[in-house]
Amino acid sequence: MNQNNDKQKYFLQTFGCQMNERDSETMAGLLEGMGYEPVANAEDADIIILNTCTVRETAENKVWGRIGELKVLKSKKPDLIIGICGCMAQQKETAEKIRRKAPHIELIFGTHNIHELPEMINRLVAERKPLLNVWNAEGSIVENLPARRKSKVKAFVSIMFGCNNFCTYCIVPYVRGRERSRQIADIVREVKSLAEQGYKEVTLLGQNVNSYGKDLPEKTDFADLLEVLNEIDGIRRIRYMTSHPRDFTSKLIDVIARSEKVCEHFHLPVQSGSNSILKKMNRGYTREYYFELVAEIRSKIPHASITTDIIVGFPGETRQDFENTMDLLDKVRYDSAFTFVYNKRSGTPAASMTDQVPDEEKSKRIVELIEFQNKISLEKNLCEVGREHEVLAEGMKNNQNKVEARTRTNKLVLLNGDSNMIGNMYRVKIVKAGPWHLDGEILSSGKN
Ligand code: SAH
Ligand code: SF4
Ligand code: F3S
Residue 119: give its domain's CATH number. 3.40.50.12160
Q: Is the pLDDT of residue 155 over 50?
A: yes
Residues 399 and 370 in one domain: no
Residues 334 and 435 in one domain: no
Closest protein CA for atom 5 of ligand 2 = 165
**Mean pLDDT confidence for 166-177:** 97
**What is the domain range of residue 38?**
9-133
Q: What is the dihedral of CA 336, 339, 345, 349, to 10 degrees?
A: 80
Is the Cβ atom of 345 under 6 angstroms away from ligand 3? no
pLDDT score of 80: 96
Q: How far is the CA of 149 from the centre of ligand 3 (A)?
A: 19
**Mean pLDDT confidence for 313-335:** 98
Residues 301 and 419 in one domain: no
Q: Is the pLDDT of residue 227 over 90?
A: yes
Is there a domain that residue 230 lies in? Answer: yes
Interval 389-439: pLDDT, tens: 999 999 999 877 899 999 999 999 999 999 999 999 999 999 999 989 999
Chain-centroid distance, C-alpha 328: 24
What's 183's DSSP letter? P
The pairing of strands 438-445 and 425-433 is antiparallel
Residues 177 and 257 in one domain: yes
Ligand 2: residue of 20, 111, 164, 165 to mutate (most ligand atoms within 8 A of CB) is: 165
Interval 370-391: pLDDT, tens: 999 999 999 999 999 999 999 9
Residues 359 and 403 in one domain: no
123 vs 117: CA distance, rounded Å: 10
- The answer to whether 394 and 404 are in contact (CB under 8 A) is yes
Q: Which residues are annotated as a binding site?
A: 17, 53, 87, 163, 167, 170
Q: What is the pTM of this model?
A: 0.96
pLDDT score of 273: 98
Residue 81: what are its φ and ψ, rounded to 5°? -100, 125
Q: Which residues are annotated as a binding site for [4Fe-4S] cluster?
A: 17, 53, 87, 163, 167, 170
Q: Which ligand is nearest to the CA of 282?
A: 2
Number of C-beta neighbours around residue 422 at 10 A: 18
Q: Is the pLDDT of residue 5 over 80?
A: no
Question: Any idea what the CATH number is for the domain that residue 437 is in?
Answer: 2.40.50.140
Beta strands in 347-437 (DSSP E): 388-396, 402-407, 412-416, 425-433
pLDDT score of 399: 75
316 vs 312: CA distance, rounded Å: 11
**Mean pLDDT confidence for 181-197:** 97
Residues 239 and 106 in one domain: no
pLDDT score of 447: 61
Q: What is the mean pLDDT of the chain?
A: 96
**Mean pLDDT confidence for 73-82:** 96
Q: Which ligand is nearest to the CA of 60?
A: 3
Q: Is the pLDDT of residue 356 over 70?
A: yes
Spell out a b/e string for 98-135, using b for 16 or more CB atoms within 10 Å of the CB, else e.
beeebebbbbbbbbbbbbbbeebbeebeeeeeebbbbe
Segments in 34-116 forming alpha helices (H): 57-76, 87-90, 92-101
Is there a domain that residue 395 lies in? Answer: yes
